[in-house]
Every structure is written in C-alpha cells, then in structure tokens.
Structure 1
Amino acid sequence: MSKPFKFKEFTLHQDRCAMKVGTDGVLLGAWVPIDGAVDSILDIGTGTGVIALMSAQRSNAEVIDALEIDADAYEQAVENFEASSWGDRLFCYHASFQEFMAEIDDQYDLLISNPPFYREDYKTSDTKRDMARFEDALPFEHLLVGASKLLSDQGKFAVIVPYKEEERIIDLASQVTLFPLKITRVKGTLTSEVKRSLLLFDREKKTPEIDELIIENARHEYTKSYIDLTKDFYLKM
C-alpha cells in the first residue's frame, strides 16, 4: 500500500491513485504564476488533488475546481480536499474533460494541467496507470481546444510537457489563439538534457519569457532555485 505523502500544510492519501505524487505535478503547482486577480482555477486531471491543493495554499481564489475521470482517484481527491484546511473552496468533478467542456458554461482565470503524455505505442498490463499516463485519454488537441473555450478573457493556461513535445504544443496552441507567455525548461542536473517544459499560455501574442530550472547540483543536493520554488510545500526543504 502506498504511504500518504505529507506536505507542510496538507497530506495526500494516494493508495487508490494510479499516478502517485511526483516531481512534475509539484513543479507545476509551485511554478504557475498566481496573482490576486485569479479568482477561479481549474485543475484538469487532478489525480491525488496535489495541484488544486497547492493552488489553494498559494491563493485566495474563491473557486478551485478539479476534474478527474478515474473513479478511485476522484474519490481519493475528494477525501484529500475535505481533509485539508481549504475544503470549502475545493470541488472535484468526476468526468472526462470532453464531458466537462460540453456541459460547463463557466470560465476560469487559470487552468492548470499535468496531463498524460506518453505517446509511445507500448502499453502495460495496468490499464488504470496507462490511462493516467497515456495521451489517448486526453489528447493535447482536446486539451487546448477546451482550454481556449474555458479560459476567461484575461485567463491563463499552465501545463507541463516533455521537452521534445514543446514545439508541437506551442504550434497546436497557436491554432486556438493561445500563445506562450512564459517557458521554463527543466533539467535534472546541469549536465543532463532538458527533460520537461513548463508552459504558460494566454490569449495575447507577446515575446515569451524563457528561462531554465535545474533541480539538483548532485544526488539529493538541490539547487537554490529549486528549493526556493518548492520550500513552501516539501517538508525537507
């Protein structure tokens, strides 16, 4: 059984979630810019609920909604929300993004997604983990079309993707008039290859701010920038 993951201000039970708490979700939840103008947030594919809970800790947004298609993960996210200090602001929908998009008329100031993004052809015998990990459940095309519909006029959309997909995603986004505002490329160490891209989109075309984040100087020796980013959440930072 998977142990609960304890953060400084909340605990996540994750024994019924196919995708456990990982660096990608925490990185995205800590990195996404949230200012006082953000009053409504949607976390697409919430899993354990980690990004929605981080958003609640970081903001005064009145509405923080989350979406989860897997029944067990949905129930677990609801329990994690209710056990937190921000239960009155957090709500989870049990639906696919496609269903949600078709039924909801509301718009959000901020959309955040740590989406499934393994486009390779292999599958494992664990269907639930595959659904959480593979892009078929939620292709980027659907995610971007939906984001364009659900974003308020000044709204922003934040996502983490494999670096090798960055160009394709930016191109797809431009087709639904969403443009990169900020791009942070993530490397494990100074000498390793760029592995992930953190992308923030909005409706206005500007020159994006581009930077790089390195996670470790050496094994378990974190960089100052990574510590500064995550220290409000991780117990040991």
Structure 2
Amino acid sequence: MMKDEFTFKQFTIKQNRCAMKVGTDGVLLGAWAKGGRRILDIGTGTGLIALIMAQRFPKAIVESIDIEENACEQAEENFLNSPFSDRLQVFHTPLQKFQPELQYDAIVCNPPYFVNSLKTPDTKRAIARHTDALSFNNLFHHSKRLLKPEGELSIIIPVENLEDILAESYFSGFFTKKKIWVKTTRDKREKRLLLAFSKRNTETEELHVSLLEEHNIKSEWYKKLTDDFYL
C-alpha cells in the first residue's frame, strides 16, 4: 500500500488527497530540468517537481498549476510546510486558461501519457494520467506562449510516446535540445525519456543511462542526479 507521506532531505510530501503519488519520474524530471528565475510546473499534483526545482534554484519563483482541486490543495499544503514557501505558488486552472503577467525561463511537466486507452474508474487518477484534459498539442502550444524566447520546456515520457511528442513539438515550433534515454537496469529496455525543448534550433544532446547497476546499486548518474533529495 502506498504511504501517505514521503520524506526528502529538505521537504516532506503529503499525498493522501492526490491521485498521482510520488514516483521516480517526477524526481528525475525535477532533478534534471533546466531552471531559471521564473519556473512553471504544469500539472503539479503533490507539488513534488515544483519543490525540487525550488530547492535546486534558490533565487527562483516557482509557480504551478493543476486542474484538480484536491491536488492544488495538497500542493499548497506541501509548499507551506517547506523551507521554500515564500517562493512557491499554485493556481487551480487548466493550462489553456492560464494567463500569467510574465513569461517563464523554464517550464516542467510530467504530462498525462495514456492516449486513447481504457480509463481507470478513479476520476482524479484518470484526469492525471490521460491526455484528454491536456493533449500534447495543448502542452506545446501553450508552453510556446508562456516561455521566454530563450526558455526551455522539460518533460518526461514513456518511450512509446516519442513519435507523437516529436511531431507535436515540431508543429508548435519547438526543437529538441536534450534527449536522455532511461532504463531501470542495464539489461532492460529503455522505458522513459527525459526531453528538453527550446524555440531555437540547436544540436540535440543525447545520452543513454540506467538507474541501477548490478545488485540494485544506484548508478553514478542516478546517484549524482538525486543525491540532494533522497534520504
């Protein structure tokens, strides 16, 4: 059974009211993504990624949005109980209607990734996991509107969604800047991709990594990336 509280080195995540719980994907994205002075977390859930970004970038203002009211309340609770509470804010709004006064240096999103698949009976979990409420097209279209010209959008997706993601990014005027292929262990297939996009056409940096070495020991890449967060 999933526990209702998850403790990191500098903050604690309560997740009793949130459909999507703390997972490796969120930690990876938050620990890897580019930051800046103004950061937006789309579909914040518990607020995990926003909190990691706030820890990594001590001068950043981190704003987050979610369409699920309970998620927003949970994120706000986690923000208020953190050392970064004065730099974190959550808005209960869909991305399509979000109208901030200023653009962002960086946008992060662990997007819904089940396209045209059977939905779970749990409405909140379905919203968090399915692309109906936030299509890939909407993600890129509105990220372009919200990002500064030199800004960067960072996401994590299952490998099987890569073709759809790259097509939508291209049509929205984004270029792939970084591509990190992630496998659990060396003998497994890559299951996740960390992707960074920018509005400027640059050469794509590409890397293949694994999270664990033999005997389930963290790889150097994974350890270095997450050491400031995991206890």
Flag whether TM exceeds 0.5 (same fold).
Answer: yes
Aligned residues: 230
CA contact (8 A) 2:42 2:107 kept: yes
Which residue number corresponds to residue 137 of structure 2? 141
Identity of aligned residues (%): 42
Which residue number corresponds to residue 80 of structure 1? 78
Q: Which amino acid in structure 1 is aligned with residue 11 of structure 2?
A: F
Q: Which amino acid in structure 2 is aligned with residue 26 of structure 1?
A: V
Q: For 1:48-87, what aligned pairs fall within 5 Å after superposition?
A: 48-87=46-85
- Please give the alpha-carbon distance, in whole angstroms, between the structure 2 residues aligned to 1:219 and 1:125: 38
- Structure 1: any 5+ residue segments left out of the alignment? none
The TM-score with structure 1 as length reference comes to 0.93
CA apart distance, 1:105: 4.2
- Deviation track 1:196-218 (CA, whole Å, cap 9, x = no partner) reads 11000111111100001201124
- Please give the alpha-carbon distance, in whole angstroms, between the structure 2 residues aligned to 1:195 and 1:219: 20
The TM-score with structure 2 as length reference comes to 0.96
- Please give the alpha-carbon distance, in whole angstroms, between the structure 1 residues aligned to 2:197 and 2:67: 24
- Deviation track 1:59-101 (CA, whole Å, cap 9, x = no partner) reads 034421000111111101001001101111000001111121x
CA contact (8 A) 2:34 2:106 kept: no
Q: Name the SS for the 1:137 alignment partner.
A: coil
Q: Which amino acid in structure 2 is aligned with residue 169 of structure 1?
A: I
Which residue number corresponds to residue 148 of structure 2? 152
- Structure 2: any 5+ residue segments left out of the alignment? none
- Please give the alpha-carbon distance, in whole angstroms, between the structure 1 residues aligned to 2:184 and 2:41: 25
Matched, 1:199 2:195: yes
Select between 167-176 and 13-22 the one with higher mean Cα deviation: 167-176
Which residue number corresponds to residue 41 of structure 1? 39
- Please give the alpha-carbon distance, in whole angstroms, between the structure 1 residues aligned to 2:94 and 2:26: 19
- Please give the alpha-carbon distance, in whole angstroms, between the structure 2 residues aligned to 1:27 and 1:62: 19
CA apart distance, 1:2: 3.3
CA apart distance, 1:106: 2.1
